[in-house]
Chains A and B, each alone.
Chain A
Amino acid sequence: MTATSAPARGGVRSPAGGAVRGARRRWRLPFSPWHLVLIPATIVLIFPFVWLVITSVETPAEALHFPPVLVPHQLRLANYPDALHSAPFGRFFVNSAIVAVVTVLSNLVLCSLAGYAFARFRFLGRTALFAVIMATLMVPFQVTMIPQFIITKWLGVHVLAAVGINHIGALILPNAATAFGIFFLRQFFRTLPLEYEESARVDGASRLTVLIRIVLPLATPALATLAALTFLDSWNNFLWPLIAITSTNQMTLPLGLATFQGAHQTEWTLLMAANVMSLVPMLCIFFLAQRYFIRSVAATGLAGT
């Protein structure tokens, strides 16, 4: 905390007194003093990643050695195929991807429809229905997870096996539309000017056409934000998959990784190789679309302020 009292940014325009300025100038570093803070902070932040990668290419003997081997003598890349032989990480990855992509798409479609109706239409029960949906937003998942488990189990047995317990469908359906998505898009739709929609209606366009052709193109930033947030949530979700899935071939990455950890607790090199493989796809997506993700995460904060 105290480091914030370090001299402010390269103050050429600094209005501080001339004498003080002169005195300071003699002491000035050839680079911003903030680097002295940021470099150690960044090392602390990325060290866990670095150590993860280092361990993943060590031999078991090197990993189980104290003091730790900070620089492995050779790169043992065989840990990666070994991990893939011990558990179907490719399968976990595909499952995670299917669940995340389908959840994102269905949220975009269903929350757009509902959010638009709540923003623009008058229909009987609108206020009451919206209030009920908003109420679900405030309740933590732990309150609803037991009935959700029972309902999912029932659906799988009596309606459609693909959305029942032990199928990835069970990870998609309960999150296929979210109260947050509806609320978020409704708020955005209400900020759009009515004129375009009205003139399209006068020209004979249906409500659905207006939504698809006029409103959604204007709402691209909001849709991108919702997509990024939904994707992150779905990709990293753990508690619901843990409850809903027990068979290995239906597991998502976090659940598969946790199960693998339970079975291979002391095989640190394999575990770290598996962990690297689980991390890298999401990190790549994140870096490629960093601007979108950051804007989305910041949007949750702005919504709250």
Chain B
Amino acid sequence: MRRGFVSSEQFTGWAFVTPAAVIIGLFGAAPIVWSAVMSFQKNNLLTPSTPFVGTANYRQLAHDPVVAQAIQHTLIYTALFVPGTMAAGLFLAVAMNRKIRFISFYRTAAYATVAISTISEAIVFIWLFDPSYGVINYFLSWFGVPPQQFINSPSQALYVIVIMTIWGWTGFSVVIYLAALQGVPQHLTEAAAIDGAGPWQAFRRVTLPLLSPASLFLAVWLTINALQLFDEVYLSTQGGPLNATTVLVYYLYIQAFQQFNFGYASAIAYFLFLVIIVITVIQFRVGRRFTYYRS
């Protein structure tokens, strides 16, 4: 009887699942509920009690001018970063999708950015864009452009972060598009050419629609990552100058781990979650109309 239970699917099933389930339950599932509860509490580490305050944290969020700025910066950043990375990746992948000399060198150069940590990337770019000694200002001087302040300038800092993150994600985007291009059957583009389509038309009408599932995936994936931008901001600008690069996750980090307003930070986190869900759902809805799946 006992032996029967130990060797039963019930027992082995749970025995196999339990170690992973405990870890995910403890660090993944329980915190989701806990931070939801916390977002309705006043919890600031200074006082031991954590009284419920109703929707006070969410009302504070709605009236916090820094949150409004952070939302604006996050959306501007996302709106530039996502199409920029997709365009760079698509362009390079199309250029690299052919058997020519040195092609594996070109590809490796593009892939290498996948292996670079966000911190290494940010350190290189703040040096490239250094206002006083940066090599970018030197290149600009060739074209008669006066030295720019870049990350010291409230009007430019966010765009420098856009550029460095596009560089950092280009390799990823190239990998995805190259894999998708490998799945485009050559006979379709050849058939288009026989029907009189030029290379641009064949690309526009045949290749691009066949790449649409990859494009939708990239749009969603890059957007989710863009809305969670943190590392580069932390390293390069710390949200400045004058809050010009304060994005949602950076502000959340400041509230949680520098001000220790866990309750308010949890409310910001849930707000971020909501933004991600809404934008992702919209992308899938809109994307479905333009996405072509070969069955």
Which A residues form the contact surface with B (CB < 8 A)? 1, 3-9, 14-16, 31-32, 34-35, 37-38, 41-42, 45-46, 48-49, 51-52, 55, 63-68, 70, 110-111, 113-114, 116-118, 121-124, 126, 129, 132-133, 135-136, 139-151, 173-174, 176-179, 182, 206-208, 232, 235-236, 238-239, 242-243, 253-255, 257-258, 261, 268, 271-272, 275, 278-279, 282-283, 285-287, 290, 293-294, 297-298, 300-302, 304-305
Alpha-carbon distance A45/B172, docked complex (angstroms): 13
- With A51-B135, A232-B114, A242-B234 as known contacts, state yes or no: A254 contacts B119, CB within 8 Å: yes
- Chain B residues lying within 8 Å of A301, measured Cβ to Cβ, are 175-176, 179-180, 214, 217-218, 221
Query: What are the residues of chain A within 8 A of B249 when measuring CB–CB?
Result: 142
**B116 close to A290 (CB less than 8 A):** no
Within 8 A of A (CB), among B149-163: none
Partner of A4, one of B31, B113, B175, B200: B200
Q: Which of B12, B34, B137, B253 has the most CB of A within 10 A?
A: B12
* Assembled-state Cα–Cα distance A206/B113 (Å): 45
**In the complex, which of the residues A9, A139, A178 has the most CB atoms of chain B within 10 Å of its own CB atom?**
A139
* Bound complex: CA A283 to CA B120 (Å): 12
Listed A/B pairs (22) with beta-carbon separation below 8 Å: A3-B91, A14-B193, A42-B110, A45-B170, A48-B167, A52-B124, A66-B138, A113-B19, A123-B9, A151-B30, A208-B12, A238-B234, A254-B118, A268-B127, A275-B120, A278-B117, A279-B120, A282-B115, A282-B116, A286-B112, A301-B214, A304-B221
A63 and B123 in contact, given A123-B13, A142-B272, A305-B180 (Cβ under 8 angstroms): no
What residue of chain B has the Cβ atom nearest to residue A299's Cβ?
A: B179
In the complex, whether B71 has a CB less than 8 A from a CB of chain A is no
Q: How far is the CA of A48 from the CA of B135 in the complex (A)?
A: 10
Are A34 and B98 interface neighbours, CB within 8 A? Answer: yes
Complexed CA–CA distance, A49 and B110 (Å): 12
Inter-chain contact B269/A143, CB cutoff 8 Å? yes
Contact status B117-A235, CB under 8 Å: yes
Q: B26 contacts which chain A residues (CB < 8 A)? A: 151
Residues of chain A with a CB closer than 8 A to B108's CB? 287, 290
Q: Name B residues whose Cβ lies closer than 8 Å to a Cβ of A.
A: 7, 9-10, 12-14, 16-17, 19-21, 23-32, 34-35, 38, 87, 91-92, 94-96, 98, 100-102, 105-106, 108-121, 123-125, 127-128, 130, 132-135, 137-138, 141, 167, 170, 172, 175-176, 178-180, 190, 193-194, 198-200, 203, 213-214, 216-218, 220-221, 224, 228, 230-231, 234-235, 249, 252-253, 256-257, 262, 265-266, 269-270, 272-273, 276
Q: Contact at B109–A45, with CB atoms within 8 Å?
A: yes
Nearest 7 CB-CB pairs, A to B?
A123-B13, A147-B31, A136-B28, A304-B217, A144-B31, A177-B20, A305-B213
Q: Mostly helix, strand, loop or mixed at chain A's interface? A: helix
Max chain A Cβ within 10 angstroms of own Cβ: one of B28, B114, B116? B28
Q: Are A136 and B32 in contact (CB under 8 A)?
A: yes
Contacting residues, chain A, for B91 (C-beta < 8 A): 1, 3-4, 41
* Given known A114-B20, A123-B9, A238-B119, contact A151–B138 (CB-CB < 8 A): no
Say yes or no: B167 contacts A45, CB within 8 Å.
Answer: yes
Contacts of A147 in B (CB 8 A): 30-31, 34-35, 38
Assuming the A-B contacts A144-B32, A147-B34, A232-B115, are A305 and B214 also in contact, with contact meaning beta carbons closer than 8 angstroms in the complex?
Answer: yes
Question: Which residues of chain B have C-beta atoms less than 8 A from A116's C-beta?
Answer: 16
Chain A, residue nearest B91 (CB): A1
Chain A residues positioned under 8 Å from B214 (CB to CB):
301, 305
The contact of A146 among B16, B218, B269, B272, by CB within 8 Å, is B269
User: CB-CB < 8 A to A177: which residues of B?
Assistant: 19-20, 23-24
- Of B13, B29, B34, B194, the residue contacting A117 (CB under 8 A) is B13
Chain B residues whose C-beta falls within 8 Å of the C-beta of A129 in the assembled complex: 17, 21
Shortest B112–chain A CB gap in Å is 7
